[in-house]
Chains A and B, each alone.
Chain A
């Protein structure tokens, strides 16, 4: 057989093996992280973790109850800001695809998606913390909400575009105004997909730490005042991870396990629903 042909075939095989090895190397950290989270996190997880406030520095015991609730409050605030703006903006992009505003918005939504999250924190700081002279839950919620807008907008655009044109035409033909058609016919048809997209967006911001460092700031106690600093799970994980106490390290792992479990569960669920919808179509 021709020698060059043999060499080319071996190169082909070698490259196939090499790209496969790349895949193994890239995915290995995922399994390492999940393994260590499960091993160290599970052993530190108990009922106290979900029901108690953080203990005094250096003393074992205590939990992250306030941080878990704090993260829910912050994500809720972010959703109040990000979801309506994102969904309405996304409908604009889908319904008026050719407009000049649409092109600019699409580009800058993508740019915002790739912007460092700490810059969002700086922005919320200059916007809300400086004038109010207080770290606050509100500022943290705004920082996360601003991050949520472009994600929700782009997902909504994608989903609304999939709603069949005939649905809009049928409604308009009946004399229903465009705004009613969009709100009561198109939006409900796209609702399931939009909810999925919003959930993934919320999962992403729930894990953000950098934008909260000098907005929500963190708190070792309960706080129900939106103008006061509030605890958050990622902030607590960060503070405990860099602390010198073994018990706090174990709690950081437990917190990380809870956080990752929530994030991954939402992502897997979204994947499942998206797959089911695609099959229905």
Chain B
């Protein structure tokens, strides 16, 4: 269908094309409106605290003092824990699905991984409170303490809720994104690449390592960025499991707080204008960071479709 409407096709066509374009363009309008609305609502806090908002740690709504550093710390560290667990596991599953699974099993296993992504966040939180938290308190944390107790990472009493538990639930929740995208880019690696390696006598693993993974590398990076964006913004499950204490502690057993969690917990009760603006300011930054991370992810995945840079350049 032609992009430029011919005059003969009439006013109806032109009008309809405009309608379709407007519907599609609504996405751009919405993202723009979000940026504008959040900036305007956050303005009192932006003017008052500036960038120091993210460098100070006092969060005292009564005194009108707002510093978001503990929330930024909690968001970043819980996401790092999640990715540290989810990247190796997710890549393992992707290699299994793309290189090793018999054809008949690929779709069912892929579907089960998809279901993991379909379970609502609040259900993860519920399961976390009543199953994961007691398990971390009774089993995981004591054994970590026994093995690595000399590290500051595993100091203090294991409460069950805290950074570690939040990181665990996040890992479970973001792993489907890593698996789905990595499997897709690995399946897209031309068969000739595998055949070349195999014909040189490589084993399946050596083929994966030397032919498939380098070719898919930028797509896998894209998958990691997608998962990172999810982990940074995930709200309900983290709110229910991280303990919600705005502090910066080296120990992963200690309760922490994230940007999304503080918005979820305090927004409906925030009555002061400055308090609301501070929470929206934090939300604005979350918005900007996830937009940048998502755009990077899409660029990397799109590049993966063209093959590795070695061949392209």
Contact = CB atoms under 8 A, between A and B. Distances in A.
A116 B125 CA distance: 16
Q: Is the interface of A mostly helix, strand, loop or mixed?
A: helix
Contacts of B38: 119, 122-123, 126
Contact of B294 (A15, A111, A126, A180): A111
A214 B203 CA distance: 56
Contacts of A241: 122, 125-126, 129, 240
Interface residue tally of chain A, by bracket? 35 or more
Interface stretch (A47-55, A60-68, A188-196, A258-266): A258-266
B73 to A, nearest CB: 18
A30 interface: yes
B131 interface: yes
Contact of B26 (A89, A95, A214, A264): A89
Contact of A150 (B17, B27, B172): B27
A213 interface: yes
Contact of A114 (B10, B116, B226): B226
A15 B202 CA distance: 14
B30 A207 contact: no
Contact of B260 (A12, A99, A105, A210): A210
Nearest to A22: B92
Contacts of A99: 3
A77 B80 CA distance: 37
B84 interface: no
Q: Is the interface of B mostly helix, strand, loop or mixed?
A: helix
B62 interface: no
A105 B115 contact: no
B118 A111 contact: no
Interface residues of B, number: 90
B283 interface: yes
Interface string A90-134: 111101101101101101111110111111001101110010000
Given A99-B3, A263-B118, A33 B206 contact: no
B14 to A, nearest CB: 9
Contacts of B54: none
B113 interface: yes
Interface stretch (B141-149, B151-159, B284-292, B303-311): B284-292
Interface stretch (B93-101, B188-196, B245-253): B93-101
Contacts of B31: 108, 111-112
Given A88-B20, A111-B31, A111-B298, A27 B113 contact: yes
A23 interface: yes
A85 B23 contact: yes
A233 B235 CA distance: 17
Interface of B: 1, 3, 5, 9-10, 12-13, 15-17, 19-21, 23-28, 30-31, 33-34, 37-38, 40-41, 88-93, 95-97, 100, 109, 111-116, 118-127, 129-131, 172, 175, 179, 203-206, 208, 226, 229-230, 232-236, 240, 260, 263-264, 267-268, 280, 283, 286-287, 290-291, 293-295, 297-298
18 contacts: A16-B205, A22-B91, A30-B112, A88-B24, A89-B27, A95-B20, A108-B27, A112-B30, A116-B286, A122-B41, A146-B30, A149-B30, A150-B27, A178-B5, A178-B17, A209-B121, A234-B120, A256-B123
